[in-house]
Amino acid sequence: MNNTIMTLTLLKKSCYYLFIVLIILLFDLNICAQDLSEYGEADTINAYFDESEQLALFQKGVDLYNMERYWDALHVFNKVNSIPQSENHFISSSNLMLMRTYLRLGDIERSILLGHEFESFYKESEYLDDVQYTMGEAFFRQSQYTDALLYFLSVMKITDDERLRRLSKETLETIIDLFLSAEEVENLKEKIEDKFNEVVLSLNLSEKYHSIGEYKRANKEIRSVRGLVKDAFLEDEYIKIKNQVKSRPTQKIYVGVVLPLSGPMSGVGEKILNGVRYALHQFRLRSDINVSAIVLDNRGDVIQSIKQVEYLSKNPKVIAIFGPVSSENAVPMAALANQYKIPMITPTATNSELSSLGPYVFQANVDFENLGRFLGIYCASVSGIKTVASLSPADEYGKDMTDSFCEAVDELGGRIVTQQWYIDKPEELRFQLKNIRQVGLELMHDQLAEKIRLTLNHLRQLAVSDTAWWLDSLYLSVGERDCQLFSEDTVYILSHQQALIFAGLMDSLEFEIPIKDSIEFMINSINGLLLPSHATDLNMIVPQLEYYNLKTMMFGSGNWNDLSFLKKNQRFLNGLKFVSDYYIDTESIQYKNFESYYARLIGYKPSRFDLYGYDTMMAVLSNFGAGEITRKEIRKKLSLMPTYHGICRNISFKGNRPRVNSCAFILSFDKGLIRPTAIIENGDLVTIAE
């Protein structure tokens, strides 16, 4: 089905009307509807002629898009588009979503093609500003800066969406400042007849001339639009730039932002970018430092990432690089950034060796080694755990976290009794969990033997010193192999076990440890179990842990920070402790205010990745002070930066691992809630009173 639709869509380049005819023919043959059963819909396309059913299908596509399931979303939006136009209530909105989906998937040409068709057929659509903004994004990613600029100009003119206007303005200003010469902008302005666009270009040209010291040309440009400013938005811009050209030029600086804005990780990249943009917006409201972002899409590709860091590093106006998302992209980027001596701050990469690539590399995320170490310190020093087992994935993540956790426990006097590993998906952990049980059983026998030895010594002392045991009518003798209990006329031979039970020093249940393991017998001799599991593994691990009857305190990684999952397994997971680089107190006044303002400006409530982008960029911007801002100064300030306390994470690069964030949270799941039980700041652990 998808191949048919995708092939037909390609025909749009040469013949749009042929495409429409073919779609109608496919509709008549019910070919387009053959896969609808996948989505729980009716078997034929006719079922969608009802508006409510079309709405349900369209909403399903939107939901899939928001869940970052772009291929599935594409499938649904194509089905919506397959409905004949005369019956289709969502034709324009589904075209917009198709544009966005193709852009996220990295098919920029297809996105642009759909945008041109939208402009031809839906000129009066309420979505025209969204479509043109998406076109601007697409052309910008193709480095077609003039085309991108024209689309952003159009959006600024026609939209009543303040967010779209602001984003278009910011990108347009960046294009004029960095990617087009003054001559190119002048030539473009001469070809434009629209007065709004002419004013916007003249204002930006005036600013550009002023920044490079051509003051006469700057004043000429600002004077040329004096009688043309009719729009309230342009009036504000005119006044601002008019005042600006009267003063000395200020340093305009940029932070290069390299994120995956198309491809498999585009959902994460877009959310981080929105957080970054909001941080810049907030910073500009209370600072006169002229800082903007150059946003580049690396598509999650290593080669693209290398090209972009080289481009940014060679531009003297770029004083820092924000990104990328993955460690795979971060490693080569970090090596180059250090070579060019430009600070690079990655918000999410966790490779434990990344910061070793040089003094210009910073990790706002806590790396695997620190996560394991912090959790190990809490486990041994606060929880008082003495015997620990681990069940970990046999990959870099599992190894780094497990090794540092076990090292910390060992340093603080704990004992690692067994380490178990699994490869790929933990669908079958019988071997590993039986090994843990066997070690636990042996430990229980050892612990019992040690308790018997100590308690027998105590009983010997009692037999000598306690009058209850050496009256004329009763005497107890504790031997090496058994005990003798003397009464007036009888001698009773007791085993050590019988004697200890008889004396009330031990309970009979304590001796009921099987020689051979049995799943019905609960193993409780291992105090702690480390589970640095991947998020996708949790549903497979928990049922197996429960089945294998281990009673222990569980310690996990930040992947356990999923309240809905924890609640579903509350009976078994109550008391779980896990380390996380973030914690969102959704009930705090600070967060509620932030959420409200963010949703108003960005258009939706912030996710964890929005907050990662916001907090990390705000931490970087906190080092932008008065005076000249250079790469060297930013690197130095980041290294010495006081702890930044953010909305979801704290950031400090002064801890036990230089230039790696040394702030985290130890979180506890208890009674259906996740709460911090300890905070790590600069590598130091501080417990929180219950």
Question: 210 and 266: one domain?
Answer: no
H/E stretch holding 361: strand 361-363
Annotate 234-254 with b (16+ C-beta within 10 A) or e (fewer).
Answer: beebbeebbebbeeebeebbb
Position 35 scores a pLDDT of 39
The answer to whether residues 681 and 663 touch, using CB atoms and an 8 Å cutoff, is yes
* 18 pLDDT above the threshold of 60: no
Q: If you average pLDDT over residues 479-492, what whole number do you get? A: 83
Last residue in a domain, options 45, 73, 107: 107
Question: 348 and 492: one domain?
Answer: no
For the chain, the maximum distance between any two Cα atoms, rounded to a whole number of angstroms, is 125
Confidence of residue 49 (pLDDT cuts 50, 70, 90): low
Residues ≥6 apart with Cβ < 8 Å to 213 = 249
Question: 278 and 213: one domain?
Answer: no
Position 481 scores a pLDDT of 87
Position 309 scores a pLDDT of 95
Between 213 and 158, name the one with better pLDDT: 158
Confidence of residue 19 (pLDDT cuts 50, 70, 90): very low
The answer to whether position 653 is within a domain reads no
Q: If you average pLDDT over residues 221-230, what whole number do you get? A: 83
Q: For the chain, how far is it from start to end, CA to CA, in angstroms?
A: 57
Question: 613 and 591: one domain?
Answer: yes
Angle at 321 between CA 176 and CA 561, to 5 degrees: 125
Percent of residues, the chain, with pLDDT higher than 90: 60
Mean of the per-residue pLDDT values for the chain? 87
Confidence of residue 6 (pLDDT cuts 50, 70, 90): very low
Position 290 scores a pLDDT of 86
Q: Tell the burial category of 609 from Cβ atoms under 10 Å away from its Cβ (0-12, 13-18, 19+).
A: buried
The answer to whether position 671 is within a domain reads no
Q: Are strands 475-478 and 318-322 parallel, antiparallel or unpaired?
A: unpaired
Confidence of residue 326 (pLDDT cuts 50, 70, 90): very high
What's the pTM?
Answer: 0.78
pLDDT tens string 486-511 = 877 788 888 888 888 888 899 888 88
Question: 464 and 606: one domain?
Answer: no
Question: 591 and 520: one domain?
Answer: no
The answer to whether position 169 is within a domain reads no
Annotate 84-100 with b (16+ C-beta within 10 A) or e (fewer).
Answer: eeeebbbbbbbbbbbbb
| Residues spanned by the domain of 281 | 254-364+587-644
The answer to whether position 297 is within a domain reads yes
| Domain total of the chain | 4
Half-sphere exposure of 200 (CA within 13 A, CB side): 27
CA atoms of 254 and 603, how far apart (whole Å): 25
The answer to whether residues 680 and 666 touch, using CB atoms and an 8 Å cutoff, is yes
Residue listed under structure tokens 């990344």: 354
Percent of residues, the chain, with pLDDT higher than 70: 91
Half-sphere exposure of 303 (CA within 13 A, CB side): 0
CA atoms of 660 and 138, how far apart (whole Å): 35
Residue listed under structure tokens 């210009």: 360
Confidence of residue 689 (pLDDT cuts 50, 70, 90): low
**3 state DSSP class of 122:** coil
Handedness of CA 320, 323, 327, 330 (dihedral sign): negative
Q: If you average pLDDT over residues 44-58, what whole number do you get? A: 73
pLDDT tens string 426-456 = 999 999 999 999 999 999 888 888 898 899 8
Question: 391 and 493: one domain?
Answer: yes
* 352 pLDDT above the threshold of 90: no
* 334 pLDDT above the threshold of 90: yes
The answer to whether residues 665 and 679 touch, using CB atoms and an 8 Å cutoff, is yes
Question: 396 and 499: one domain?
Answer: yes
Position 245 scores a pLDDT of 81
* 113 pLDDT above the threshold of 90: yes
* 564 pLDDT above the threshold of 90: yes
Question: 575 and 594: one domain?
Answer: no
Instruction: Determine the residue type at 670.
Output: D
The answer to whether residues 547 and 520 touch, using CB atoms and an 8 Å cutoff, is no
CA atoms of 631 and 276, how far apart (whole Å): 19
The closest of 377, 373, 330, 372 to 355, measured between CA atoms, is 330
The closest of 183, 239, 235 to 214, measured between CA atoms, is 183
Rounded (10°) angle between helices 538-547 and 430-465: 40
The answer to whether residues 188 and 214 touch, using CB atoms and an 8 Å cutoff, is no
